[in-house]
Amino acid sequence: MTRTWEISDVEDAARARIATARLASAYGVAPLERIRLTASLSTRLRRCLAKGGTWRLALETGTEGGEGTVLRAVLTPSPEASAAGEPPWRMSVPRPRPAPEADAAGEVTADGPAEALLGADEDTALVLDRLREREALVAFHREELHQTNQGVVALHAELDAAGRAQREAFAAERAARTEAEHARRRLTFLADASAVLTASLDHHEIVRRLPGLLVPEYASHVDVWLFDQDSDPGGVPAHPAAAVRAARTGRPQYAAGHPGGLPGVDDQPPSALDPGRPLLCIPLPTRRAPLGVLTLSPPGERWDPDDAVMLVELTRRASIAIDHAQRYEHNRDIAETLQRALLTELPATPGLALAARYLPATHGLNIGGDWYDAFRQRDGGVIVVVGDVTGHGLRAAVMMSQLRTALRAYAVDGGGPGRLLTRLHTFLHDLQPDLFATAVIARFHPDEPTLTWAGAGHPPPVLREPDGRVRVLDAKPGAMLGIPLHQEIADHTVRLEPGSTLALYTDGLVERRARGIDPGIERLARVLGSFGPRELATDLEGSADGILRPLLSDSERDDDVCLLLCHHTGPA
């Protein structure tokens, strides 16, 4: 179908435009496409009228691009405009419906201008309705977008609050971790410092170690005032008033121009001796009375409260260590005096040479219950004994002296080694039921070619014969002295040739914690057998030292060592 119009004036143009709109509507062209077509055609027609001449508008149907039928408008220029190079104008719109039926004249005709305007208004109304729908849709989406934006803003606010809470939690966690690390560092320092202070039993050494532990991390200066030092003839040095108050009250004092805010510490004015430096004066407490005062200067402006609490606790532990060391030194002095008084010189006996050695332990209280003794009986016999009271310290030394005295008293009445040990067993059990002892006793007589001995829970004697052979006298001994058991300890007798040497000893000589006692006894037998007969006969003292050197090659000993050598030279 093709419709054509000749256009030479405005009325022709209006009728052509109206007819184009009518036909587009009849073909079912969408309102928007119809408005686009008529609007573009109107613009083109105004240009044609401006150039003059007769233009030809053709409206035809057809196909385009294989995508369905279209309604195509073609505006051909006038001959004058075509000669001037004006190209034809074309525009196509989709055509959903088939061609409409023609009117009575066989064509669709254009109405008057008023009806044409009404038709144009109808198209415009359709477009406006469509625009209103679009505006409503846009308003709906705008409201949706506004609500979404409000939700996003609220979400951002929640995320910001969550972020702040998370940052605060992280900051609190870092602070807690830092505080825990500081607490761990203080506890580690306190444990290490306590170990250093308690490792020594010399209170002067403990006092010397304190500044090295505290400077420079926890103090810039440390002064230890022990009250017993004020008795020195050099005079009493001046001490801060806060230190004197701490000594009198037993409470820590802080002397400075500002409050310290330290828990458990009293604030005092600055010290007149050093007004520009804060001082922390902590008493050295004991169960009876303070031993002295520890005065500290801070490493910076002031102490952290937790550091001050740690310093008070360290001072308490240092006081305990100093008190224990002083008690130890006091007991050691008494025990050493007692031990020196009891370890008397050995008697000079015809036909028998004696040499003894006593070495205290190198750990702990260096005084124990080991002892040796040698004395004559009325019949001319000689009793030699080596014993060991369990434990160390003053109590063991006192018990050792009582056993030594009791043995000498019992020996006055005569009797062999077994009988003497039996009486010592009863004596110890009745006197000290919670103390025990071991001992070995040997009896020599110049008119008898035999050696009589007996043991009670003690390492066996070792006998070196003149030909160099060594025997361990391990006949069945009695049980330990003092145990709650009735026992009769028997004597043992061996033949004794001139030139023989008997070794009596305590377990500190042969027993080692990692190896036991039997390997040590075997070593003692080998060392004793390595000496020549003349060496033992001429230098028994040097031989005693020669036995100790290889057996005590390790410098650390947990027990006392006692050795008694008896060399039989023959009849006087």
Interatomic CA distance for residues 514 and 512, integer angstroms: 6
- What pLDDT, on the 0 to 100 scale, is given for residue 366? 55
- What pLDDT, on the 0 to 100 scale, is given for residue 555? 52
Q: What is the largest CA-CA distance in the chain?
A: 181
- What pLDDT, on the 0 to 100 scale, is given for residue 103? 43
Which of helix, strand or coil describes residue 56? Answer: strand
- What pLDDT, on the 0 to 100 scale, is given for residue 463? 96
**What number is the average pLDDT over the span 537-542?**
91
- Residue 272 backbone dihedrals phi, psi, to 5 degrees: -70, -25
Would the pLDDT of 24 be above 90? no
**What number is the average pLDDT over the span 25-30?**
86
Interatomic CA distance for residues 450 and 433, integer angstroms: 35
State the pLDDT confidence band at 230, using cuts at 50, 70 and 90.
Answer: low
Residue 313 burial (C-beta neighbours within 10 Å; 0-12, 13-18, 19+): middle
**What number is the average pLDDT over the span 6-32?**
86
Which of helix, strand or coil describes residue 365? Answer: coil
Which of helix, strand or coil describes residue 62? Answer: strand
Would the pLDDT of 40 be above 90? no
Cβ neighbours for 447, distance < 8 A, ≥ 6 positions apart:
380, 571
Q: Position of tokens 């000689």?
A: 382
- What pLDDT, on the 0 to 100 scale, is given for residue 133? 82
- What pLDDT, on the 0 to 100 scale, is given for residue 105? 32
Percent residues over pLDDT 70 in the chain: 88
* Residues facing 93 on adjacent strands: 71
State the pLDDT confidence band at 407, using cuts at 50, 70 and 90.
Answer: very high
Set out the domains of the chain in order of their start, with CATH numbers.
2-110 (no CATH), 199-335 (3.30.450.40), 343-568 (3.60.40.10)
- What pLDDT, on the 0 to 100 scale, is given for residue 106? 39
Interatomic CA distance for residues 275 and 389, integer angstroms: 59
Lowest mean pLDDT among 128-137, 301-310, 493-502: 128-137
The pLDDT tens digits of the residues spanning 441-457 come to 999 988 888 999 999 99
Q: Name which residue leads in pLDDT, 385 or 552.
A: 385
- What pLDDT, on the 0 to 100 scale, is given for residue 315? 93
Percent residues over pLDDT 90 in the chain: 40
For residue 377, give both structure tokens: 């009986």
Instruction: Classify strands 492-495 and 470-472 as parallel, antiparallel or unpaired.
Output: unpaired
State the pLDDT confidence band at 516, using cuts at 50, 70 and 90.
Answer: confident
Neighbours of 456 (CB within 10 A): 28
Instruction: Classify strands 352-359 and 561-568 as parallel, antiparallel or unpaired.
Output: antiparallel
- What pLDDT, on the 0 to 100 scale, is given for residue 120? 55
**What number is the average pLDDT over the span 411-423?**
91
